């Protein structure tokens, strides 16, 4: 059965409970999360066709999918209509309309609950985490989940595939492989960075499956023909779509790849931290938008998620030498956290901020009223996956 037919038929079956099964990606809702959830759902039903299916959840409100142009492109080129997926709005409806039902959740691409809808359901004892497949730092919770696979790979989708490949003994449809290739190639730069054994195993299986399905080369959908593949060009199309910020305001850009974390200080105070990842330097924001628009985007985020600290983590290449750089930027209204950057030794923060001269005056004006700091990050190897545990450590030990 093709992935499209599967998703259509899944949505056609009404949800009744008492047990509702969901497989959810993380709150950033990036391609890895979306595809890991869809693939998990597909493989589970392939292995256990007569069991209650796991429905793939995108852990965002439906109207935010428009901010993820790479995912829209991948879904479209695989003839998948987003209306056949599930969003936070659906879960909220289910919780409300089926007050006796409880949720069994499989987490993929994260290993702890994220987002207030699911966390609230858990606190209300209406939700259990039943399995985990992830490639982030193990948070050491839900230890009874089965499977509970947490391992380092470039893409979580590789772990999902490898697990199910070891469980399913029938032929795997090429349509699910075409979907799985999207996050693998985006997360590894077409197998050039962050590649681990799990990724290598997965891609060699993908190639075999595509080749034996006789898929011919065709731009827009992954294919292998006589050992040759078109992965590089499709990867570039997806990457371009991911970076495309046309028609977006700062508030859209900050929501596009956002995660919320709550950490506890030494004094057991909860600190809510929103972390947005950006593919452009801070100087780009100030160059392309009015200062008020940038600030409004930050305030919107802060209000919407009741944040104590808003962190913007940028990753880009410096125009003059194409050298990869990262910035660590934070905003807070709480004076206590103004020194946050001073403690994050692992990030190697410094003041060599890209094109700082061009927006220094704007920063000065902003900082009269609020705390808004921008640093260059010396440790360019630290993505959000590594930066967040460092921020957590600082909150837990310095405050």
For Mn ion, the binding residues (CB under 5 A) are 32, 109, 156
State the nearest-atom distance from the C-beta of 330 to Mn ion, in Å: 23
Q: Which is nearer to Mn ion, 34 or 80 (CB)?
A: 34
Q: Which is nearer to Mn ion, 101 or 151 (CB)?
A: 151
State the nearest-atom distance from the C-beta of 85 to Mn ion, in Å: 18
State the nearest-atom distance from the C-beta of 327 to Mn ion, in Å: 21
State the nearest-atom distance from the C-beta of 108 to Mn ion, in Å: 9
Q: Which is nearer to Mn ion, 261 or 354 (CB)?
A: 261
State the nearest-atom distance from the C-beta of 112 to Mn ion, in Å: 14
Q: Which is nearer to Mn ion, 57 or 295 (CB)?
A: 57
Spatial CA neighbour of 175 closest among 34, 38, 287 = 38
Q: Which is nearer to Mn ion, 73 or 150 (CB)?
A: 150
Q: Which is nearer to Mn ion, 70 or 109 (CB)?
A: 109
Q: Which is nearer to Mn ion, 32 or 199 (CB)?
A: 32
State the nearest-atom distance from the C-beta of 25 to Mn ion, in Å: 8
State the nearest-atom distance from the C-beta of 304 to Mn ion, in Å: 24
Q: How many whole angstroms separate alpha carbon 207 and alpha carbon 177?
A: 9
Q: Which is nearer to Mn ion, 34 or 349 (CB)?
A: 34
Q: Which is nearer to Mn ion, 37 or 349 (CB)?
A: 37
Q: Which is nearer to Mn ion, 156 or 238 (CB)?
A: 156
Phi-psi label, residue 104: left if phi above 0, alpha if psi -120 to 50, beta otherwise: beta
Q: How many whole angstroms separate alpha carbon 325 and alpha carbon 47?
A: 44
Q: Which is nearer to Mn ion, 37 or 156 (CB)?
A: 156
State the nearest-atom distance from the C-beta of 186 to Mn ion, in Å: 10
State the nearest-atom distance from the C-beta of 29 to Mn ion, in Å: 11
For 155-168, b where at least 16 C-beta lie within 10 A, e where not — what string?
bbbbbbbbbbeeee
Q: How many CA atoms lie within 13 A of 379 on its CB side?
A: 15
For the chain, the first-to-last Cα distance in angstroms comes to: 54
Extract the tokens encoding 341.
Answer: 């950057």
Contact 257, 30 (CB under 8 A): yes
State the nearest-atom distance from the C-beta of 328 to Mn ion, in Å: 20
Q: How many whole angstroms separate alpha carbon 79 and alpha carbon 76?
A: 5
State the nearest-atom distance from the C-beta of 101 to Mn ion, in Å: 29
């Amino acid at each position: 059965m093709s992935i499209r037919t599967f998703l259509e038929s899944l949505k056609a079956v009404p949800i009744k409970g008492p047990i509702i099964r969901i497989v959810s990606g993380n709150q950033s809702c990036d391609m890895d999360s979306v595809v890991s959830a869809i693939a998990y759902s597909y493989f589970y039903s392939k292995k256990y066709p007569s069991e209650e299916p796991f429905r793939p959840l995108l852990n965002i409100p439906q109207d935010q999918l428009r901010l993820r142009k790479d995912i829209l492109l991948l879904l479209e080129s695989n003839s998948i209509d987003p209306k056949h997926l599930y969003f936070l709005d659906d879960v909220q409806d289910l919780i409300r309309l089926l007050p006796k039902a409880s949720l069994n959740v499989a987490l993929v691409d994260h290993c702890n609950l994220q987002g207030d809808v699911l966390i609230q359901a858990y606190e209300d004892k209406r939700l259990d985490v039943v399995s985990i497949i992830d490639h982030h730092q193990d948070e050491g919770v839900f230890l009874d989940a089965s499977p509970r696979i947490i391992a380092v790979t470039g893409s979580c989708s590789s772990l999902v595939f490898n697990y199910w490949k070891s469980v399913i003994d029938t032929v795997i449809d090429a349509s699910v492989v075409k979907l799985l290739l999207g996050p693998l190639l985006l997360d590894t730069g077409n197998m050039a960075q962050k590649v681990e054994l799990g990724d290598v195993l997965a891609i060699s299986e993908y190639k075999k499956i595509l080749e034996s399905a006789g898929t011919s080369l065709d731009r827009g959908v992954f294919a292998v023909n006589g050992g040759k593949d078109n992965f590089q060009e499709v990867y570039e199309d997806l990457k371009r779509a991911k970076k495309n910020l046309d028609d977006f305001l700062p508030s859209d850009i900050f929501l596009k790849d956002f995660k919320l974390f709550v950490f506890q200080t030494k004094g057991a105070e909860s600190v809510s931290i929103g972390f947005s990842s950006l593919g452009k330097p801070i100087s780009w924001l100030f160059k392309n938008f009015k200062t008020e628009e940038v600030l409004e985007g930050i305030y919107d985020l802060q209000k919407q998620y009741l944040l104590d600290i808003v962190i913007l983590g940028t990753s880009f290449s410096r125009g003059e030498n194409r050298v990869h750089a990262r910035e660590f930027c934070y905003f807070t209204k709480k004076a206590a956290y103004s020194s946050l950057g001073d403690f994050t030794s692992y990030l190697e923060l410094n003041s060599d901020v890209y094109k700082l001269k061009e927006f220094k005056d704007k920063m000065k004006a902003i900082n009269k009223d609020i705390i808004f700091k921008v640093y260059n990050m010396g440790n360019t190897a630290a993505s959000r996956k590594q930066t967040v545990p460092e921020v957590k450590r600082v909150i837990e030990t310095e405050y």
